[in-house]
Chain A
Amino acid sequence: MKKKMRKILFDSWIAAGSRTWVYLLVVLAAGTLLSLTLFFSGGNSVENTLASSINLSLAYSNNSFVSSHYDNQMQMPKLELVKKRPDLNKEVYQMFVNNLDTLASSPEVTYFNFNFESWLQTDQSDSFQVFGINDSRFFAKENIRIIEGTGEIKEGEAVVSDQQVYNTLLADGTLTQRKAVLGDTYTFVNTYDKERGQLFTLKVVGIYQGASSMQSDSEDDDFIGSNGIVTTNSMFTQLLADHPEYYGGYIAQKLHMGTSNLTGEMMVITDPEYFDADGNFLNDKAAIDYHDIDEFEVTSAAHYSPMINHIVLETDTFEHYASLKQKFDKFSLETNRNAAKLFDEFTKDNPKYSLKFMLQTNENYFGSILDSIARIKKFYLFIFLSIYILLMLSLYSFINYMQYDRSREIFIKYSLGSSRKKISRYYMKYYALPGLAASIIACIPGYLLSWMLSSSTAAASVQRQNEFIRVEEGTQTVQYTGVSLFDLSWQRMLLAFAAVLLIMELVIMACAWISTMRVLRGSLSNHARGGR
């Protein structure tokens, strides 16, 4: 009998002819919209894509030892002098590196990289770059492995020697790229101060290999630089350490108009009398003991050349991104707090000086991208849901129409003894079964559309943001490699898929139930009492 009834159910779909097809098309359209909505919003798909494409990075600033500011004419530096406390810098960095390792081992992190290398830009017409380091003390042992040559640079050797040769360690990637070998020397010309004809020479005394989390910048050909030879912070620290009689120091800067290059002089202050009550340098050269480092061409970046240039943490999902962001913020907060504590101890005895060390999560650009995407997504979702609701209203109307057309059939069943509940159940099944098939099929275009839409939304948002950054700051800082994948985990995909089917089926069955009941009521009312 069940087989016969199944055949009857099938026959009734066939008998409905074009109506069945219209019904299926409406369900297909509604299912597509619903799956599009759920896939599009369900997995934070765009955010996930971006979260895996855009790095979390850390903005770093440090003026604890060397800091200079230009005056309004951008000509003369306004100096901030700090008292000698050479180990502070190192301590803070070391603490920073250690804490960073803990952060990097978080389960959210899929890729971690940080770069210790400080660098120095030289004249951009020069086409040579060497990245290296001059002071292994600033490396955590687990992050660097000396694979050739000197495993350690002795104290003082980082500073130029009598022969004007700077010893350095080179990254192995640099060696490969430049075909350098141990013992090679490179001579750099101070192109700015040609009158003095200053040359400096780099001698490779060691080759290091970074840990997996450490990245060499050696392939970055956009900058021409020499690293580790003249590193302001470390060198200055070194100088202060070597000369206890020095009170403090700074790097003087002069803007070389017409280019982005600066000249710098490292000077050591020997007498605190040359500073006014506010700590401003009185600009009397006689008070300055020029150190034997000489001039070199630097950019402003060199003045802030930290031992850690950048940190990159990558995640694969937006949830991980958000979670890591919190940890990252906490990490920054704690590091800043600890640094401040160290500095406070110093400034307690030296109230005149202000030491600053500031880590701040850099989210300006991708943060605004995500905000922008969230807005766009909300708009899309509003449109999708509106269309979906309209389609479901159409579906309800159509089911109503079909049921009114079947009012006689419904009445027959009722008069044969079928209960209202049983009749409703039959028609719920009648609509739900083909509806289920249509909903399953609808998930395919829904998924594809959300994939396309996610990709295009993300790409367009990043592009717009980059345009904005270009206009505002003249440089493109957001790197975006393009969305290659609709980033939705299979669990979320299954969840969205199940939700589509469940919602569609529930709505269809509710429509069928309401329509059948209405039709039956109307039908009984028409038949009873002499057909009134």
Chain B
Amino acid sequence: MSEILKIKDLSYSYKDGDHERVIFDHTSLAFEEGKFYAITGESGSGKTTFLYAIGGLDNQYQGEILYKDQEIKKIGLDEYRRNKVSMVYQNFNLIPYLSALQNIYVAVDITDNVGRITKKEALAILAELNIDPVKAARRSSSLSGGEQQRAAIARALAVDSPIIIADEPTGNLDTEAGEQAVEVFQKLAHEKNKCIIIVTHNLQIAEKTDVQYQINQQTHQLECMK
């Protein structure tokens, strides 16, 4: 499996009051296609910060983040977010007044794949994630937490980006729905060759991933646990 995302000498710190708070200090690691990764750590350890950095949402870091050996800043963060990476959030981040289907349209409209998804294709993706057409047409705010999360994953699938990053994707789900979501991620990694990176503090979920990294707050490094 080829490396799709490489982190080289990543350092991240910010001013917290009078003192400088270091999150990462020259940490390096790589993510491969077709694998399911977990980033774990205590609250405030910098999990989300890491996710935002590799998701192209925060560029205040030192070091390099390489997508297929190309610095993402050089690709352009907008372009990178648009076509290379998809984000799934703990609170699902669906546009609440739009249906699951429309949320997919919005996402596709933003990517360079404009016009390349039909209603049938979008419904098929949703169906794959157990969202039937009736629910797909409902306002996303009226769906259950699990359904919303699956709709958010469907949105990520629809834009067909090779990397899917999820921030505490099971945080707002009950156990069953959480497990379903994890299964979906496993399938995406193993069957669709996606690189799935989730941030979680749930070790049981982390156990189900292929590779687990933990943020060591003493060394400010990401250490491979599994």
Contact = CB atoms under 8 A, between A and B. Distances in A.
Contacts of A257: none
B105 A530 contact: no
Count class of interface residues, chain A: 20 to 34
Contact of A418 (B47, B96, B110, B115): B110
A418 B110 CA distance: 6
Interface in A477-527: 524, 527
Given A5-B106, A528-B57, 11 more contacts: A1-B115, A1-B117, A8-B98, A15-B98, A408-B95, A413-B106, A415-B87, A417-B78, A417-B111, A527-B52, A528-B52
A519 to B, nearest CB: 15
B83 A412 contact: no
Place the interface of chain B in its size category: 35 or more
Q: Which one of B52, B82, B106 has the highest number of Cβ atoms from chain A below 10 Å of its Cβ?
A: B106
A1 B159 contact: no
B48 A530 contact: yes
B93 A408 contact: yes
A422 B78 CA distance: 10
B58 A417 contact: no
22 contacts: A1-B114, A1-B117, A5-B106, A8-B106, A11-B97, A12-B98, A408-B95, A408-B96, A409-B95, A411-B93, A412-B93, A413-B106, A415-B57, A415-B87, A416-B86, A416-B87, A417-B78, A417-B110, A527-B48, A528-B49, A529-B48, A530-B44
A529 B57 contact: no
Interface in A1-52: 1, 4-5, 7-8, 11-12, 15
B109 interface: yes
Given A412-B93, A415-B87, A8 B102 contact: yes
Contact of A12 (B23, B55, B97, B105): B97
B50 to A, nearest CB: 10
A172 to B, nearest CB: 81
Interface string B82-94: 1100110000011
A531 interface: yes
Contacts of A413: 106, 110
A128 interface: no
Contacts of A412: 93-95
Closest 8 CB pairs of A and B: A417-B82, A15-B97, A417-B81, A419-B78, A1-B115, A418-B110, A528-B58, A416-B110
Contacts of A275: none
Nearest to B57: A415
A139 to B, nearest CB: 83
B57 A414 contact: yes
A529 B58 contact: yes
B177 to A, nearest CB: 21
A268 to B, nearest CB: 102
B211 interface: no
Contacts of B223: none
Interface in A150-194: none
A411 B89 CA distance: 11
Contacts of B55: 415
B17 to A, nearest CB: 12
Contacts of B34: none
B210 interface: no
A5 B109 CA distance: 8
A416 B106 contact: yes
B71 interface: no
B107 interface: yes
Interface in B11-59: 14, 23, 44, 46-49, 52, 55, 57-58
Given A8-B106, A529-B49, A415 B81 contact: yes
A11 B14 CA distance: 41
Contacts of A529: 14, 23, 48-49, 52, 58
The residue in A7, A12, A411, A528 that gathers the most chain B C-beta atoms within 10 A of its C-beta is A528
A53 B211 CA distance: 90
Given A1-B105, A528-B52, A416 B97 contact: no
Nearest to A14: B97
B79 interface: yes
